[in-house]
Amino acid sequence: MPELPEVETTVLSLKSKVLKRTFVRVWGDDNLKQLKGKCIEKIKRRGKYIIFELSEDKALLVHLRMTGHFLLGEWEYKRSEWESKDKIMQEKKNRFLRFIFFLDDGKQLALSDPRKFAKLSLLGKKEIEKHLESLGPELLSIKENDFLRILEKKRGRIKPVLMDQNFLAGLGNIYAAEILFKAKIAPWRDVTFLTEADKKRIYCFMQKIIKKALELKGDSTSDYRLITGERGGYQNEHLVYNRKDLPCFICKDKIKRIEVGGRGTYYCPTCQKL
């Protein structure tokens, strides 16, 4: 699932390419045909959500879920499917077009979504706040003292806690695993038994790893791609994620994969004993 670095990278790219453009046609869902004639006035992120603020007091709320990613290009409908002359758009991960938004400059904004889990909702601007009110603070803007304070109130295993969007908005499976490895904390460790030093290490590496992932334009281990169709670069920096049975870069022990909180979790049994 796209996490904060992937969603933020997408938002920054969309801002530079489609801001102030107007929707002229929509393919893929009759419920979104009301977008016709609406101008994109602002694009922003909240947690893992993308928000298009539109003219006429409307907003398009997007959650990419497991496999969704936006693409900007040009497609033609041939032989019962949408085709692009651009080679990068012919890559398998970029061919599962679920929506195409035709813009007034001749470009098309498409959503590729193999598993069709992405959710798009056209709402009034005031309704957006209600949909997002349960989200926790943004992980890149929260101060260390505030992070320690709200973590003090939590109970349960640390990895599911970090991934709880009501606790902290934007963190998911990939980066939670990487952060806990750097902090030398087992993903199943109960928050109650974390020391202040443990919590400070989590906060420190959370900031460093997410900022690094932003620099590399996200992680394309799975379906995520840039709006150009290209891959992000963070998958080349993995320390434990997706490295089952490979040697740890620190101690050379084999990376293990278990389930914690119902999610596949990678860790080093030597570096993350506690």
Determine phi and psi for 139, rounding to 5 degrees.
-70, -25
Q: Which of 2, 5, 160, 187 is catalytic?
A: 2
| Nearest one of 2, 229, 192, 4 to 94, comparing CA atoms | 229
Determine phi and psi for 107, rounding to 5 degrees.
-80, 165
What is d(CA 50, CA 137) in angstroms, rounded to the nearest whole number? 16
Tell me if residue 257 is catalytic. Answer: no
- At residue 36, the pLDDT reads 96
What is d(CA 106, CA 243) in angstroms, rounded to the nearest whole number? 43
**In this model, does residue 274 exceed pLDDT 80?**
no
**In this model, does residue 242 exceed pLDDT 80?**
yes
Amino acid 205 reads F
The arrangement of secondary structure in 4-132, i.e. its CATH architecture, is Alpha-Beta Barrel (3.20)
- At residue 223, the pLDDT reads 96
Tell me if residue 114 is catalytic. Answer: no
What is d(CA 135, CA 166) in angstroms, rounded to the nearest whole number? 5
Question: Exposure string (b/e) for 123-135, b if CB count within 10 Å is 16 or more?
Answer: beeeebeebeeeb
Neighbours of 105 (CB within 10 A): 12
pLDDT per residue as tens digits for the range 143-174: 999 999 999 999 999 999 999 999 999 999 99
What is d(CA 1, CA 172) in angstroms, rounded to the nearest whole number? 8
User: What average pLDDT does this structure show over 106-125?
Assistant: 96
CA neighbours within 13 Å on the CB side: how many for 270? 9
Tell me if residue 81 is catalytic. Answer: no
**In this model, does residue 219 exceed pLDDT 90?**
yes
pLDDT per residue as tens digits for the range 127-141: 998 999 999 999 999
Q: Which of 3, 6, 8, 178 is catalytic?
A: 3
What is d(CA 89, CA 236) in angstroms, rounded to the nearest whole number? 22
User: What residue has token string 């993995």?
Assistant: 238
C-beta separation of 74 from 84 below 8 A: yes
- At residue 80, the pLDDT reads 86
Tell me if residue 3 is catalytic. Answer: yes
| Apex 198 CA angle, 269 and 45, nearest 5 | 95
Burial class of 107 by CB neighbour count within 10 A (0 to 12, 13 to 18, 19+): middle
pLDDT per residue as tens digits for the range 166-217: 999 999 999 999 999 999 999 999 999 999 999 999 999 999 999 999 999 9
Q: Where are the domains of the chain?
A: 4-132, 144-267
Q: Which of 17, 157, 254, 263 is catalytic?
A: 263
Q: Which of 38, 45, 46, 48 is catalytic?
A: 48
Asked: is 144-267 a CATH 1.10.8.50 domain? The reply is yes
